[in-house]
Amino acid sequence: MSPRGVATPDVRERLFAAAERVVEQGGPGALTSRSVTTEAGCAKGLLHAHFAGLDEFVAELCLDRFARTAAKARALSGLVGQGTVARNLDTVVLALFDSGGPALSGLALTRPAATRRIREALEGGAPGFTAIQEAVTAYLADERELGRVAATVDPHTVALALVGTAHHLLMTSWPGTPDPRPAMTRLVATLLKG
């Protein structure tokens, strides 16, 4: 445990990763500021020193994970013409399920103040599902231009189907339910057939 008064390196990520482990192991009800700091191995007050409360912490955790996935989606533009289209898309859509995605979605739903804060941030331009969908659409359009995606494939519709399905699976999965990733991989392959 970090002693009091000693700086904790990369405290946000350390607390976020600890929260993901807590929720994956015990579900949304197990998340408290104490359970997070205990799991992170840091001082009990550290979470409240960096966040206004647990709702702000949960919102920031979800927004951080959305931003990470949106960054992966934007990186697709650098993969045009490389690897396989299916594998490149899998990297993005499956990232939504990494780091306890379904558990975190359930967590956000149990905390109305966090949900409100997330919605306001997304409406204000924070990267989320829309940014992911736009990046996937642009990527598929570029790959279609190169002939690596069938001319009959509509990039916007495929991107909407992928992001919409991922959103659905995130909202209906929780710890203990079947892993949604194989279904997403099959969907990517099916949609690319055009």
Question: What six digits make up the tokens of 177?
Answer: 């339910």
Q: pLDDT, tens digit, for every residue of 81-128?
A: 999 999 999 998 888 887 566 667 777 777 889 999 999 999 999 998
- Percent residues over pLDDT 90 in the chain: 60
Question: What six digits make up the tokens of 178?
Answer: 């079947």
CA distance 25 to 145: 45
pTM: 0.81
What 8-state DSSP symbol labels residue 79?
G
CA distance 23 to 12: 16
Confidence label for 129 from pLDDT (cuts 50, 70 and 90): confident
Kindly report which listed range (4-13, 19-28, 41-50, 86-95) carries the lowest average pLDDT score.
Answer: 4-13
What 8-state DSSP symbol labels residue 146?
T
What 8-state DSSP symbol labels residue 178?
P
What 8-state DSSP symbol labels residue 164?
H
Average pLDDT on 165-187 reads: 84
Which residues, 6+ apart, have CB-to-CB distance to 38 below 8 Å?
A: 44
CB atoms closer than 10 angstroms to residue 46: 19
SS3 content of the chain, % helix, strand, coil (to 5): 70, 0, 30
Tokens 């392959």: give the residue.
189
Tokens 């924070």: give the residue.
126
Question: What six digits make up the tokens of 173?
Answer: 């999965």
Q: Evaluate if residue 149 carries a pLDDT over 70.
A: yes
Nearest 5°: the CA angle 125, 131, 136 is: 170
Rg (CA), the chain: 18
